[in-house]
């Protein structure tokens, strides 16, 4: 008698786990890759808005104004950052990204009246020219960091860590360190460039306070100073950054992306953006600086609802990295044969570290970069940012708000137990908050 054969997959040794073991067996080391966490975590999708009906009244969606103006860095700076929208472009280096990608990001941000951010490679002159508001990152590597560019910046972002790799440094593989990239970073051409995990000239928050004063003195207290951190021990870290003198906190959850780091960091270090945001707001409230020190949240934010929920939970603005690259064409189903050469498919590509980006974004190869025309990429990113703003305004109006910053926690409920516990919001249809 024929028995029916049923194939079963082990829940421990899944196809992914088997592939990972066999890849390690071949490489003899951990895996390095780009992009962000692949695993599923509680996120903004697990929240929904309680819009208006009778207890509150909505605003007319296609008529009434809903303002989006946003100020960052009002604590100490003579010239705080004034943005037209509460969405900024996150720091991504020239080196990790191509010249065309950096310039397009700058131009798109300018069109929307918002800021873009430099990255590990220093300030690319064309990026400065393209960006009406440019945040200059002070990273542990200090590649390309100099007082001349510092004085051209509209804000300074001291990078302590990144959501994709909190506590760890990056690794820009040698194939992306071409002559121009190496020159900007004072490195030999073609070597693997290690991004250090800590700053060379300060160690703890007491030192950071003096470092911040140095940067303020060098820029005559004109521009704001942000401190960017990967989300781990959020409450303590935020409080220490505020004590050190930060004008704004940039907090990057574990869904944040990277050009290249160890896969174990992306999947097993840090906490998701949703609970990180909630804890950061609580930390600012506990020390009485909520509203005085602005909070920018980042890490896997992709849509208008994500942005609106972040604002409702207490963020002043959000920052987008990977999503802007996807808007340009990252993972687009074109040049299929080149995805195959990398051993991947469109929608599944996280090979930014190889420098062989099929769509010309995370590459320094001149031929590949030509696949990303600057004008076209600028339009795509600008359109994408514009659509996010329209979505945020729509949700805000539906909640009865004439300013997107008036969205509040009361406008949200959670759909899952995990999201309820992490966001400290009631489960939908109940008054029950998990853990409280």
Binding site for another protein (CB under 8 A): 27-29, 32, 141-142, 145-148, 150-151, 171, 173-174, 185-188, 190-192, 194, 196, 200-202, 207, 210-211, 213-215, 217-221
- Phi, psi at 424, each rounded to 5°: 60, 45
Q: How near is the Cβ of 276 to another protein at its closest, in Å?
A: 29
Q: How near is the Cβ of 365 to another protein at its closest, in Å?
A: 18
The closest of 322, 230, 228, 323 to 276, measured between CA atoms, is 230
Q: How near is the Cβ of 386 to another protein at its closest, in Å?
A: 38
Closer residue to another protein, CB minimum distance, 35 or 143: 143
Closer residue to another protein, CB minimum distance, 95 or 305: 95
Q: How near is the Cβ of 148 to another protein at its closest, in Å?
A: 7
Answer for the pair 136, 118: CB distance below 8 angstroms, yes or no.
yes
Angle of helix 304-312 relative to helix 374-398, nearest 10 degrees, comes to 50
Specify the pairing of strand 258-262 against strand 317-320: unpaired
Strand partners, 318: 87, 297
Closer residue to another protein, CB minimum distance, 137 or 219: 219
> Rounded distance, CA 176 to CA 73, Å?
34
Closer residue to another protein, CB minimum distance, 133 or 211: 211
Q: How near is the Cβ of 237 to another protein at its closest, in Å?
A: 22
Sign of CA dihedral 306, 307, 308, 312: positive
Answer for the pair 105, 135: CB distance below 8 angstroms, yes or no.
no
Closer residue to another protein, CB minimum distance, 199 or 397: 199
Measured CA distances, 393 to 3, 69, 70, 89, 417 (Å): 60, 12, 14, 19, 28
> Rounded distance, CA 119 to CA 29, Å?
27
Q: Which residue has the tokens 């001149």?
A: 366
Closer residue to another protein, CB minimum distance, 56 or 142: 142
Q: How near is the Cβ of 201 to another protein at its closest, in Å?
A: 4
Closer residue to another protein, CB minimum distance, 151 or 233: 151
The closest of 379, 382, 357 to 370, measured between CA atoms, is 357
Q: How near is the Cβ of 187 to another protein at its closest, in Å?
A: 6
Q: How near is the Cβ of 291 to another protein at its closest, in Å?
A: 26
Residue 86 CB partners (closer than 8 Å, separation 6+): 68, 70, 307, 311, 315, 316, 317, 318, 392, 404, 405
Closer residue to another protein, CB minimum distance, 201 or 345: 201
């Amino acid at each position: 008698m024929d028995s029916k054969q049923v194939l079963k997959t082990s829940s421990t040794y899944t196809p992914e786990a088997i592939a990972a073991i066999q890849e390690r067996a071949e490489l003899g080391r951990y895996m390095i890759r780009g992009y962000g966490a692949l695993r599923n975590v509680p996120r903004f999708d697990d929240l929904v808005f309680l819009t208006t009906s009778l207890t509150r009244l909505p605003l007319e969606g296609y008529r009434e104004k809903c303002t989006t103006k946003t100020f960052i860095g009002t604590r100490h700076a003579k010239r705080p950052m004034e943005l037209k929208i509460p969405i900024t472009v996150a720091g991504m280096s020239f080196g990790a990204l191509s010249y065309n990608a950096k310039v397009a990001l700058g131009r798109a941000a300018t069109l929307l009246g918002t800021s873009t951010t430099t990255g590990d490679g220093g300030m690319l002159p064309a990026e400065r020219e393209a960006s009406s508001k440019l945040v200059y990152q002070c990273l542990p590597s200090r590649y390309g960091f100099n007082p001349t560019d510092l004085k051209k910046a509209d804000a300074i972002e001291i990078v302590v860590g990144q959501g994709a790799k909190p506590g760890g440094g990056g690794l820009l593989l040698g194939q992306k360190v071409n002559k121009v990239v190496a020159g900007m970073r004072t490195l030999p051409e073609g070597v693997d460039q290690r991004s250090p995990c800590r700053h060379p000239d300060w160690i703890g928050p007491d030192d950071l306070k003096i470092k911040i004063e140095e940067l303020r003195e060098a820029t005559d207290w004109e521009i704001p100073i942000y401190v960017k951190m990967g989300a781990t021990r959020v409450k303590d870290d935020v409080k220490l950054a505020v004590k050190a003198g930060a004008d704004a906190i940039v907090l990057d959850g574990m869904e944040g992306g990277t050009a290249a780091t160890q896969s174990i960091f992306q999947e097993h270090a840090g906490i998701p953006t949703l609970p990180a945001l909630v804890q950061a707001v609580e930390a600012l409230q506990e020390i009485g600086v909520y509203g005085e020190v602005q909070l920018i949240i980042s890490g896997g934010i992709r849509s208008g609802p994500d942005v609106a929920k972040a604002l409702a939970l207490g963020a002043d603005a959000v920052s987008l990295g990977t999503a802007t690259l996807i808007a340009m064409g990252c993972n687009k189903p074109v040049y299929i044969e080149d995805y195959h050469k990398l051993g991947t498919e469109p929608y599944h590509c996280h090979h930014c570290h190889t420098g062989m980006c099929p769509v010309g974004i995370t590459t320094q190869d001149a031929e590949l970069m030509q696949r990303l025309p600057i004008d076209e990429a600028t339009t795509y990113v600008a359109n994408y940012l514009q659509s996010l703003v329209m979505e945020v305004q729509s949700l805000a109006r539906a909640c009865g708000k004439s300013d997107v910053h008036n969205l509040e926690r009361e406008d949200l409920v959670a759909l899952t137990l995990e999201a309820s516990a992490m966001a400290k919001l009631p489960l939908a249809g109940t008054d029950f908050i998990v853990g409280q």
